[in-house]
Structure formats: structure tokens, C-alpha cells
Structure 1
Amino acid sequence: MAQNGQTTPPVFSKADAVNETSKLVHRIIPYKDLEPSWHVPAAKEPGFMRWLITWVGGPAGHINTNPDTAQVSQNTVTGLMHMGVGQKQKGLHYHSVTEIYVVIKGQLEGFDGKGDKHVAGPLDCVYIPKGVPHGVRNCGTEDCELIWVHDGIEKKGTSVYFMDGIYTGPPQVDEISVVNFRDLEPSYDAYRAREVEFARWMVNWVAGPVGYENVNRGQAVENDKVSIGLTVVPPAQKIVPHRHETAEHYVVLQGKALINAGRGNEELGKLDGVYVPPCLEHGVRNHGEEPLYLLWVHEKPQKIGSTTYR
């Protein structure tokens, strides 16, 4: 069945949603409750100063800068790094998981173990495959902030650092790639997204392979472990109540939102995060005066047609 040129996805009744999700609970992780961490290597040295927070992190013994506050996940980590003007990461390092950056403020220059460089600005994505040595610096005139996502959890002490900037590890096999926001065509193909009241658009920086949801096939980087995108909702519009087969992380990049995931309307402000467990019905409304920019992370890519709507 088609509606406004869109394929109508599976729908479910309100009664079904209440019965099936009554035991599921989402979690809001307010930005104000996340204390900045300065404990990554050299983060307190002039020229290398930066701090991190984590909305969703790994369990004990794994990377999680806010273990007493962040939601724990066995699959995916989502956090933020703040790097002031004139600062950089010291040397090079690599992870045992893929690391993905989405710049939300400022200009970021990155470099790899071969000396190749790239630059990313607001809403550009930097995709760093596991095992690829890398470092970044603030190359702009304002503080730089980026969302960082790991497509798996990593044990503390697993990352390998080369603090002098000279890479002496295994040969670099993969390359860092940049997905520029300007190259991502906005998609209005989500359920009812062309209707007044539910108007919104989406892009994907990272998404699943063929057979999985990906609104920017050909531009978004394919990953079989995680999907990352952005939904933009104009004032007074909302996202249709829906549920996914996998857990979802939200981070508000701009604006104000109300989320309803079974406990009534709860307000979200800039840089507040939300963890939504699998199969929990939830909807989001923009109740601010500017467009709502909502970054989302799916802990696993979604098969086409698997998302259900009310």
C-alpha cells in the first residue's frame, strides 16, 4: 500500500503497543548530569587539552567515561569530545573497533598513519575503520565538538597509542573516509514524512548493506554493526510513534523536543541523550522555535520494513 508516494510499513494498534512494551523502559541521560572526563592520554597537557562524555558506554572494564551516569550497552558506544581552539590529540592511536565522528561544531583536521590528511566541518562524518591509526586537531577559530560512536565495546587498555606521532605498528590496510553533509540528499521517504504534522527529513552517514535501511545509498558508509543518521523536524511537527527491532540512541543537536515512550511527555534540550530499548514504542515532537536536529544511532542496522508505526 502506498501513501503520498511512500510504501506503508507495518502498523500496530495502541493496545498492542501497551501490552507488548509494558515491561520496557527507556532512559534519558541529561547532558547536565555528565561530568567531563579529562583522563584520555595527554588530555591535561597544553596543546592537547580535550574532554569527553559518554551517553551510552560499555560495561565495567570497557570504555565508558561516565560509568556512574551513562546507559550501559553491550553493543555500541555514543559520546562527545570537546577540543578547544589550538588543541589536538597527541600522536596517533588506533582502536579494536570502528570509530565514527560526526562534527557538530567547528573545523576538524584528521590524519592517519601514512600522513594523509582530511578536513571535516559541521555535520560532516569521519569514518575510521578498526585498526587504522589516526589523530585529529582543531583547525578552526572556535571550539570543536564531535559526536563519537564505536561500533562495538572496547576493553580498557586495548587502544594502542604512538605518543610521538610516529607510527610503528602493523601496516595500515584500510583508509579513513569522510562523508560530507552537503553530499547527503535529504530523504522524505519515512512513513508520513510528507504530511503536515509529521513533516521531517532524514540522512544517513553510516548504514547497513543492501537489504537494510539506508536513505543515502552510495554516499553513506556501509557497516553491518551500526547505523547512524540525522532526523530534522520543523517546529510543531513530530515523528510518528514507532519501534525498532534494535536499541536506539538519540542525541539532541539543536532545538527542544518532547519524547513520549510510555511515561508521558518528557522534555529534551541540547545535548541531552536518550536510550530506547528494542521494540519500545516512542514518538518525538518538536516543541521549540527552531528546527529540531536529532542524531540517532541504531545498535544494529534495520532490515527494510522492520520498523513498525502506529
Structure 2
Amino acid sequence: MMKALSSVSSFAASLLFEIMNIWNTTSDFILLGLFNHTGAHLFLFVMVLTIAFTSLVGNALMIFLIHQDARLHTPMYFLLSQLSLMDMMLVCTVVPKMAADYLMGKKSISRAGCGLQILFLLTLAGGECFLLAAMSYDRYVAVCHPLRYPILMSWQLCLRMTMGSWFLGAADGIMQAAATLGFPFCGAHEIDHFFCEAPTLVRLACADTVVFEYVMYICCVLMLLVPISLILISYSLILAAVLQMHSREARKKAFTTCSSHLCVVGLFYGAAIFIYMRPKSYRSANHDKVVSAFYTIFTPVLNPIIYSLRNSEVKGALRKCMGQCAALNND
């Protein structure tokens, strides 16, 4: 185990060293952005900032409630807190730079900044893929094996799945960032996007990128289709178990418990597959920007709304917190 960890660490260190060498030898990129300076686009810009701020507040509130309320100290809610943390970091990776560029009229981004955006974006998006798969397993155990839940979904296993999600996402991010920035880029270095995204950046390369695109496609299959296959298997077993339940109330509770997670999975995976698994000939810059905005800005704000509005335990924790705040104000 120690030998494997040492080899992984050495590999990661060599990739990071290669990235630093690339950053120090190349010029900046130009981000063309998502909005123009028109009245309609200004309104859309304000709306995006409002949604991003709401996402940060909502996910931060979810993390706070899960941390504060002892009733939410379970593997399910720990995984949910990690999902909220990833969503917060995802918004912070994209929105501040986009907002600063629009307000200040500065569209350039350094090689280092571009590499870090790719690294963090893929780390968080890839980590979220595997985290959603872990959450589906948690729901499978809760519905199909409720009496064995403490054994089949132990805290040790929960922590391993969480750490594995972060590690696999980081490994994908490091490899794709290093490979993408390793290409020579020509022309005006203009990226028709509002942040650095690997598929968009590869279009500017002055070299043959067929092998890289093939490898990236394989990575996307592993990072997207493998977790979603596990999710579909889990929910197929859940559906089979629910249909065999005789109690109408039990069926309703099971569907309510799982429907929230399915909503999140559908929104996130749909957008990610559209961006990373389409053939190059079908790509459109405008479509990519809209869908990228959806899964990096809009989807994170939906997660706390879906889980809070459809979850009685979260609503109970929120009411308890508000009651405590009201009591403190009255004192």
C-alpha cells in the first residue's frame, strides 16, 4: 500500500512540475466571455451573480445545518455536505473571474490561471460524479437493507468513498490539465468561453490532438459512465424493492427519499455528458457556454433547494436553527 501511494505521489509531483514548466514559458489567453455590454446582457449578468450568490449561501447553510444538528450526523448527510462543499468550490472556480473580467473589461487569463481552472473544474466535477454514485449506494442500503445499514454503510466506508471521490477527481484534473497545456497554441490565443475548459482549449492547439481527444474521451467514459452505471444499478434494485412493498406509506417514503437524488443526478450528468462526450464535429461555442453555465452555476443552486424542500429532516433542522436564533435575539 505504501509503495503504491509513493508511486502515485511521484507521478502527481512529476505532472505538477511539468505544468509549472509549461506555465513559465507561454503567454496569456484571452477569454471572450459569456456576456456583451448591452442592456439585456447586463440583466443576465446580474441574474447569474444572484444565482451564484444564492448557491453559495444555500450550500453553506446546508453544511452548517448538517454540522450543527446531531440528527443529521449520518453517512447520508455527510455525503450531502461534501456535495455542497464541491458545489461551492465549483462556483468559486468560475464566477469570480467571469465577474471581474466583465466589470473591469479585462479578458486575459494567465497560463497558470487557466491551468488551475481546468484542474479545479475537473477535480470537482469528477469528484462529484463518484460522490453521487456513493450517495446512490447509500440510498440502496437505506431502502433495501435498512436493518443492516450501520454495517453496510459504516462511517469507515463512507469516509473511504468520500476520499476516493476527491482522489479520482484530482487525478483526472491533474492529468488533463497537464496534457492540455502541453500543446503548442497559435493565433490570438482567444478562448470563446467564459472560463478555461479542456475541450474548448484543445481547439486552439497547433498540433495533432487526435490521440489526446481519444484519451480524454476514455477518461470521460470512466468518470461519467462508470458512476452513472452504478447509480442506475442501485436505483434499479431500489425500484424492485419498492414495488414489492405492501405498505403504501413505505413506498411513498422510499420514492421521496430517492427522488431528490435522482433529480440532482439527471441535471448534473446530462450537462456533463453534453460537454465532454459529444463528437468534435457537433460542438458549438455558444451551446458549450450555455451548458457549461448550467452545470457550473445553475445546478449547484438547485442541490440545496431540492434536498431542503423535499427533506423533512433538513427542514426540521432549519426550523430548529431559526428558533434558536430567535431565542437569542429575544434575550
TM-score computed with the length of structure 1 as normaliser? 0.20
Higher relative contact order (CA 8 A, sep 6+): 2
Higher relative strand content: 1
Point out the structure with max Rg over C-alpha: 2
Higher relative helix content: 2
TM-score computed with the length of structure 2 as normaliser? 0.20
